[in-house]
Structure 1
Amino acid sequence: MEKTVSLRPTAEADLDFVLAQEQSPNNRPYIRQWSVDEHRARLLDPDWAHLVIESEGEAVGYVILHGLRNSDDSLCLKRIVVARKGEGFGRRAVQQVKRFAFDRVGSHRLWLEVKDFNTAARHLYRSEGFVAEGIMRESARIGERYDSLIVMSILEQEYRPPTAADCTDTL
Protein backbone atom coordinates (compact mmCIF):
# COMPACT_ATOMS: atom_id res chain seq x y z
CA MET A 1 0.00 0.00 0.00
CA GLU A 2 1.32 3.42 -0.99
CA LYS A 3 2.13 5.69 1.94
CA THR A 4 0.67 9.18 1.88
CA VAL A 5 2.61 12.32 2.61
CA SER A 6 1.56 15.62 4.05
CA LEU A 7 3.22 18.99 4.45
CA ARG A 8 3.26 20.92 7.71
CA PRO A 9 5.06 24.08 8.80
CA THR A 10 8.59 23.49 10.02
CA ALA A 11 9.03 24.14 13.74
CA GLU A 12 12.18 25.18 15.54
CA ALA A 13 12.39 21.61 16.88
CA ASP A 14 12.60 20.30 13.28
CA LEU A 15 15.74 22.25 12.39
CA ASP A 16 18.15 19.54 13.57
CA PHE A 17 16.44 17.13 11.15
CA VAL A 18 16.52 19.74 8.36
CA LEU A 19 20.23 20.46 8.85
CA ALA A 20 21.08 16.75 9.05
CA GLN A 21 19.32 16.12 5.73
CA GLU A 22 21.00 19.12 4.15
CA GLN A 23 24.42 17.83 5.22
CA SER A 24 23.75 14.24 4.15
CA PRO A 25 26.15 13.02 1.43
CA ASN A 26 23.06 11.85 -0.51
CA ASN A 27 21.71 15.42 -0.67
CA ARG A 28 24.69 17.74 -0.36
CA PRO A 29 25.72 17.74 -4.06
CA TYR A 30 22.27 18.92 -5.13
CA ILE A 31 21.46 21.77 -2.73
CA ARG A 32 23.06 24.82 -1.20
CA GLN A 33 23.92 24.63 2.48
CA TRP A 34 22.23 27.08 4.84
CA SER A 35 23.07 27.90 8.43
CA VAL A 36 20.53 27.31 11.17
CA ASP A 37 20.03 31.10 11.29
CA GLU A 38 19.18 31.20 7.57
CA HIS A 39 16.57 28.49 8.11
CA ARG A 40 15.18 30.31 11.19
CA ALA A 41 14.83 33.50 9.17
CA ARG A 42 12.72 31.65 6.56
CA LEU A 43 10.46 30.25 9.31
CA LEU A 44 9.54 33.82 10.29
CA ASP A 45 9.35 35.44 6.85
CA PRO A 46 5.77 35.61 5.48
CA ASP A 47 7.08 35.41 1.89
CA TRP A 48 8.51 31.94 2.56
CA ALA A 49 6.97 28.55 3.40
CA HIS A 50 9.33 26.18 5.18
CA LEU A 51 7.55 22.81 5.39
CA VAL A 52 8.30 19.33 6.70
CA ILE A 53 7.28 16.36 4.57
CA GLU A 54 5.67 13.75 6.80
CA SER A 55 4.50 10.20 6.26
CA GLU A 56 2.66 8.36 9.01
CA GLY A 57 3.82 10.95 11.55
CA GLU A 58 7.50 10.63 10.59
CA ALA A 59 9.54 13.42 9.01
CA VAL A 60 10.82 12.15 5.65
CA GLY A 61 12.04 15.43 4.16
CA TYR A 62 11.43 19.13 3.85
CA VAL A 63 10.39 21.73 1.29
CA ILE A 64 11.16 25.44 1.05
CA LEU A 65 8.97 27.70 -1.10
CA HIS A 66 9.61 31.38 -1.85
CA GLY A 67 7.32 34.02 -3.29
CA LEU A 68 4.10 33.62 -1.31
CA ARG A 69 3.62 37.38 -1.75
CA ASN A 70 4.92 37.55 -5.32
CA SER A 71 2.89 40.09 -7.30
CA ASP A 72 3.24 37.94 -10.44
CA ASP A 73 1.71 34.91 -8.67
CA SER A 74 4.91 32.98 -9.37
CA LEU A 75 6.00 30.66 -6.55
CA CYS A 76 9.53 29.23 -6.40
CA LEU A 77 10.17 25.70 -5.17
CA LYS A 78 13.49 26.72 -3.65
CA ARG A 79 14.35 23.35 -2.18
CA ILE A 80 13.00 19.85 -1.73
CA VAL A 81 14.97 17.27 0.22
CA VAL A 82 13.85 13.70 0.83
CA ALA A 83 15.58 11.61 3.48
CA ARG A 84 14.43 8.21 2.28
CA LYS A 85 15.08 7.87 -1.42
CA GLY A 86 13.39 5.37 -3.71
CA GLU A 87 10.16 5.07 -1.72
CA GLY A 88 8.07 7.56 -3.71
CA PHE A 89 8.14 10.28 -1.07
CA GLY A 90 9.68 12.78 -3.50
CA ARG A 91 6.96 12.31 -6.11
CA ARG A 92 4.18 12.53 -3.55
CA ALA A 93 5.79 15.61 -1.99
CA VAL A 94 5.98 17.32 -5.41
CA GLN A 95 2.29 16.54 -5.92
CA GLN A 96 1.52 18.09 -2.52
CA VAL A 97 3.62 21.15 -3.41
CA LYS A 98 1.61 21.60 -6.62
CA ARG A 99 -1.65 21.41 -4.63
CA PHE A 100 -0.26 23.92 -2.13
CA ALA A 101 0.86 26.30 -4.89
CA PHE A 102 -2.23 26.20 -7.08
CA ASP A 103 -5.09 25.28 -4.73
CA ARG A 104 -4.04 27.00 -1.53
CA VAL A 105 -1.80 29.91 -2.52
CA GLY A 106 -3.50 30.59 -5.87
CA SER A 107 -0.27 30.73 -7.84
CA HIS A 108 -0.26 31.07 -11.61
CA ARG A 109 3.22 29.54 -11.98
CA LEU A 110 5.35 27.17 -9.89
CA TRP A 111 9.00 27.16 -10.85
CA LEU A 112 12.33 25.74 -9.71
CA GLU A 113 16.00 25.49 -10.54
CA VAL A 114 17.59 22.04 -10.71
CA LYS A 115 21.26 21.23 -11.24
CA ASP A 116 21.87 19.91 -14.74
CA PHE A 117 23.51 16.72 -13.45
CA ASN A 118 20.55 15.84 -11.18
CA THR A 119 18.92 13.57 -13.75
CA ALA A 120 16.63 11.79 -11.27
CA ALA A 121 15.08 15.07 -10.12
CA ARG A 122 14.78 16.38 -13.69
CA HIS A 123 12.97 13.20 -14.70
CA LEU A 124 10.62 13.46 -11.71
CA TYR A 125 9.78 17.10 -12.43
CA ARG A 126 9.13 16.37 -16.13
CA SER A 127 6.89 13.44 -15.23
CA GLU A 128 4.94 15.76 -12.90
CA GLY A 129 4.28 18.28 -15.68
CA PHE A 130 7.18 20.70 -15.29
CA VAL A 131 8.64 22.10 -18.51
CA ALA A 132 12.29 23.07 -18.97
CA GLU A 133 12.48 26.78 -19.74
CA GLY A 134 16.21 27.19 -20.13
CA ILE A 135 19.63 26.69 -18.64
CA MET A 136 21.62 29.12 -16.55
CA ARG A 137 25.13 28.06 -17.44
CA GLU A 138 27.62 27.78 -14.57
CA SER A 139 25.48 30.11 -12.46
CA ALA A 140 25.88 28.46 -9.04
CA ARG A 141 29.31 28.59 -7.44
CA ILE A 142 29.98 25.62 -5.19
CA GLY A 143 33.47 25.89 -3.73
CA GLU A 144 35.87 26.04 -6.66
CA ARG A 145 33.43 24.86 -9.32
CA TYR A 146 30.38 26.30 -11.05
CA ASP A 147 27.21 24.29 -11.60
CA SER A 148 24.65 24.92 -14.32
CA LEU A 149 20.99 25.20 -13.35
CA ILE A 150 17.96 24.28 -15.44
CA VAL A 151 14.87 26.41 -14.86
CA MET A 152 11.64 24.40 -14.96
CA SER A 153 8.04 25.42 -14.33
CA ILE A 154 4.44 24.33 -14.43
CA LEU A 155 1.57 26.74 -15.02
CA GLU A 156 -1.81 26.58 -13.34
CA GLN A 157 -3.55 25.63 -16.61
CA GLU A 158 -1.09 22.73 -17.01
CA TYR A 159 -1.75 21.58 -13.46
CA ARG A 160 -5.48 21.98 -13.90
CA PRO A 161 -6.21 21.24 -17.59
CA PRO A 162 -9.66 22.01 -19.00
CA THR A 163 -12.38 19.49 -18.23
CA ALA A 164 -14.89 18.18 -20.75
CA ALA A 165 -17.40 20.69 -19.37
CA ASP A 166 -14.99 23.52 -20.25
CA CYS A 167 -14.80 22.43 -23.89
CA THR A 168 -17.43 23.31 -26.43
CA ASP A 169 -18.20 21.40 -29.59
CA THR A 170 -17.33 23.69 -32.50
CA LEU A 171 -18.45 21.33 -35.25
Structure 2
Amino acid sequence: MNQIELTLLPSTLVDLAQLVSWEKQAEVEEFILPNTYQQHVDMMAQDNFLYLSIFQSDRLVGFLILAIEAGGGIEFRRIVIGHRGQGLGQLAIQAMEYYCLEHFACQRIWLDVFDFNERGQHIYRKLGYQEFKRCQHGEHQLLFFEKHF
Protein backbone atom coordinates (compact mmCIF):
# COMPACT_ATOMS: atom_id res chain seq x y z
CA MET A 1 0.00 0.00 0.00
CA ASN A 2 1.33 3.46 -0.90
CA GLN A 3 2.03 5.80 1.98
CA ILE A 4 0.47 9.23 1.43
CA GLU A 5 3.02 11.98 1.98
CA LEU A 6 2.01 15.54 2.65
CA THR A 7 4.15 18.67 2.64
CA LEU A 8 3.32 21.81 4.59
CA LEU A 9 4.54 25.12 3.22
CA PRO A 10 3.75 28.70 4.24
CA SER A 11 0.75 29.82 2.20
CA THR A 12 0.97 32.55 -0.39
CA LEU A 13 -1.62 35.14 -1.35
CA VAL A 14 -2.18 33.16 -4.55
CA ASP A 15 -3.21 30.13 -2.45
CA LEU A 16 -5.82 32.13 -0.53
CA ALA A 17 -8.38 32.25 -3.35
CA GLN A 18 -8.54 28.44 -3.22
CA LEU A 19 -8.91 28.48 0.57
CA VAL A 20 -11.85 30.91 0.39
CA SER A 21 -13.46 28.73 -2.29
CA TRP A 22 -13.09 25.57 -0.19
CA GLU A 23 -14.41 27.32 2.91
CA LYS A 24 -17.65 28.04 1.04
CA GLN A 25 -18.34 24.37 0.32
CA ALA A 26 -21.46 23.27 2.21
CA GLU A 27 -19.68 20.35 3.90
CA VAL A 28 -16.99 22.74 5.19
CA GLU A 29 -18.99 25.89 5.89
CA GLU A 30 -21.27 24.22 8.44
CA PHE A 31 -18.28 23.51 10.73
CA ILE A 32 -16.46 26.86 10.57
CA LEU A 33 -17.05 30.58 10.57
CA PRO A 34 -15.71 31.37 7.06
CA ASN A 35 -13.64 34.44 6.35
CA THR A 36 -13.58 36.66 3.30
CA TYR A 37 -10.49 36.84 1.14
CA GLN A 38 -9.61 40.21 2.68
CA GLN A 39 -10.02 38.89 6.23
CA HIS A 40 -7.56 36.11 5.39
CA VAL A 41 -5.13 38.60 3.84
CA ASP A 42 -5.31 40.75 6.98
CA MET A 43 -4.78 37.77 9.29
CA MET A 44 -1.95 36.40 7.17
CA ALA A 45 -0.12 39.73 7.53
CA GLN A 46 -0.08 39.46 11.33
CA ASP A 47 3.06 38.00 12.90
CA ASN A 48 1.21 35.63 15.21
CA PHE A 49 -0.78 33.89 12.46
CA LEU A 50 0.65 31.16 10.27
CA TYR A 51 -1.13 29.88 7.18
CA LEU A 52 0.18 26.56 5.93
CA SER A 53 -0.71 25.12 2.55
CA ILE A 54 -1.01 21.34 2.43
CA PHE A 55 0.42 19.69 -0.67
CA GLN A 56 0.15 16.09 -1.81
CA SER A 57 2.93 15.78 -4.37
CA ASP A 58 2.66 19.15 -6.16
CA ARG A 59 -1.12 19.44 -5.76
CA LEU A 60 -2.64 21.85 -3.24
CA VAL A 61 -5.09 19.78 -1.15
CA GLY A 62 -5.80 21.95 1.90
CA PHE A 63 -4.88 24.56 4.47
CA LEU A 64 -4.09 24.93 8.14
CA ILE A 65 -4.30 28.15 10.11
CA LEU A 66 -2.36 28.46 13.35
CA ALA A 67 -2.11 31.22 15.94
CA ILE A 68 1.26 31.28 17.67
CA GLU A 69 1.06 32.15 21.36
CA ALA A 70 3.74 33.32 23.76
CA GLY A 71 4.99 30.59 26.05
CA GLY A 72 5.07 27.69 23.58
CA GLY A 73 1.36 27.33 22.86
CA ILE A 74 -0.29 27.13 19.47
CA GLU A 75 -3.96 27.54 18.70
CA PHE A 76 -4.95 25.26 15.85
CA ARG A 77 -7.47 27.62 14.27
CA ARG A 78 -8.58 25.81 11.15
CA ILE A 79 -8.09 22.95 8.79
CA VAL A 80 -9.74 22.88 5.38
CA ILE A 81 -9.27 19.94 3.04
CA GLY A 82 -10.44 20.38 -0.55
CA HIS A 83 -11.64 16.80 -1.03
CA ARG A 84 -12.71 15.08 2.14
CA GLY A 85 -12.91 11.40 3.01
CA GLN A 86 -9.41 10.38 1.94
CA GLY A 87 -7.73 10.58 5.36
CA LEU A 88 -5.78 13.67 4.38
CA GLY A 89 -7.04 15.74 7.32
CA GLN A 90 -5.72 13.33 9.91
CA LEU A 91 -2.36 13.12 8.13
CA ALA A 92 -2.23 16.91 7.83
CA ILE A 93 -2.84 17.31 11.58
CA GLN A 94 0.02 14.92 12.32
CA ALA A 95 2.26 16.84 9.89
CA MET A 96 1.21 20.12 11.57
CA GLU A 97 2.15 18.76 15.00
CA TYR A 98 5.60 17.79 13.71
CA TYR A 99 5.95 21.20 12.03
CA CYS A 100 5.05 22.99 15.28
CA LEU A 101 7.51 20.93 17.31
CA GLU A 102 10.28 21.47 14.78
CA HIS A 103 9.75 25.19 14.11
CA PHE A 104 8.36 26.46 17.41
CA ALA A 105 9.31 23.85 20.03
CA CYS A 106 5.67 24.03 21.04
CA GLN A 107 4.53 22.54 24.31
CA ARG A 108 0.78 22.61 23.70
CA ILE A 109 -1.60 22.70 20.76
CA TRP A 110 -5.23 23.50 21.40
CA LEU A 111 -8.36 23.91 19.32
CA ASP A 112 -12.10 24.29 19.51
CA VAL A 113 -14.74 22.32 17.67
CA PHE A 114 -18.53 22.58 17.54
CA ASP A 115 -20.43 19.93 19.50
CA PHE A 116 -22.18 18.67 16.36
CA ASN A 117 -18.87 18.01 14.56
CA GLU A 118 -18.63 14.41 15.72
CA ARG A 119 -16.21 13.44 12.95
CA GLY A 120 -13.78 16.17 14.03
CA GLN A 121 -14.07 15.22 17.69
CA HIS A 122 -13.39 11.58 16.84
CA ILE A 123 -10.24 12.47 14.90
CA TYR A 124 -8.91 14.80 17.60
CA ARG A 125 -9.46 12.19 20.32
CA LYS A 126 -7.88 9.51 18.12
CA LEU A 127 -4.80 11.73 17.74
CA GLY A 128 -4.48 12.21 21.51
CA TYR A 129 -6.27 15.51 22.08
CA GLN A 130 -8.24 15.75 25.32
CA GLU A 131 -11.25 17.91 26.03
CA PHE A 132 -10.58 20.52 28.71
CA LYS A 133 -13.46 22.99 28.49
CA ARG A 134 -16.86 23.73 26.98
CA CYS A 135 -18.67 27.00 26.38
CA GLN A 136 -21.85 28.11 24.70
CA HIS A 137 -21.61 29.67 21.21
CA GLY A 138 -25.05 30.68 20.02
CA GLU A 139 -27.25 27.61 20.01
CA HIS A 140 -24.28 25.21 20.04
CA GLN A 141 -21.47 24.38 22.37
CA LEU A 142 -17.81 24.78 21.57
CA LEU A 143 -15.62 21.97 22.88
CA PHE A 144 -11.99 22.82 23.60
CA PHE A 145 -9.31 20.17 23.10
CA GLU A 146 -5.59 20.23 23.84
CA LYS A 147 -2.52 18.09 23.41
CA HIS A 148 0.70 18.54 25.38
CA PHE A 149 4.15 17.72 24.04
Smaller-chain TM-score bracket:
over 0.9
Does structure 2 conserve the Cα–Cα contact (< 8 Å) formed by 1:109 and 1:154?
yes
Q: Does structure 1 residue 97 correspond to structure 2 residue 96?
A: yes
1:154 to 2:135 alignment: no
Deviations 1:9-61 (CA, angstroms, capped at 9, x unpaired)? 11111111001110001100001111111111122211110111110111111
The answer as to whether partners of 1:5 and 1:92 remain within 8 angstroms in 2 is yes
SS state at 1:51 partner = strand
Alignment match, 1:164: none
Runs of 4+ in 1 over 3 A off after TM superposition: none
Q: CA deviation at 1:106?
A: 1.1
Q: Percent same amino acid at aligned positions?
A: 22
**Helix, strand or coil for the counterpart of 1:136?**
strand
Structure 1 segment 80-95 matched on structure 2, within 5 A: 80-95=79-94
Is 1:20 the counterpart of 2:21? The answer is yes
Aligned residues: 148
Pairing 1:65-144 to 2, within 5 Å after superposition: 65-67=66-68, 70-137=69-136, 139=137, 141=138
| Aligned partners of 1:30 and 1:118 also within 8 Å | yes
Please list every run of 5 or more consecutive structure 1 residues that lacks an aligned counterpart in the other structure. 157-171
Residue segments in structure 2 that go unaligned for 5+ positions in a row = none
What SS class does the counterpart of residue 151 from structure 1 fall into? strand
TM-score computed with the length of structure 1 as normaliser: 0.83
Q: Distance in 1 between matches of 2:60 and 2:141?
A: 30
How far residue 103 of structure 1 moved from its aligned partner, in angstroms, is: 2.3
- The AA in structure 2 aligned to 1:38 is Q
- Superposition CA RMSD, Å: 1.1
- Partner of 2:5, secondary structure, is coil
**In the alignment, what sits opposite 2:51?**
50
Residues 112-160 of structure 1, C-alpha deviations (whole Å, 9 max, x = no match): 00111111111111111101112112x2x4xxxx32110000001xxxx
The alignment partner of 1:32 has SS state of: coil
Alpha-carbon offset, residue 2 of structure 1: 2.6
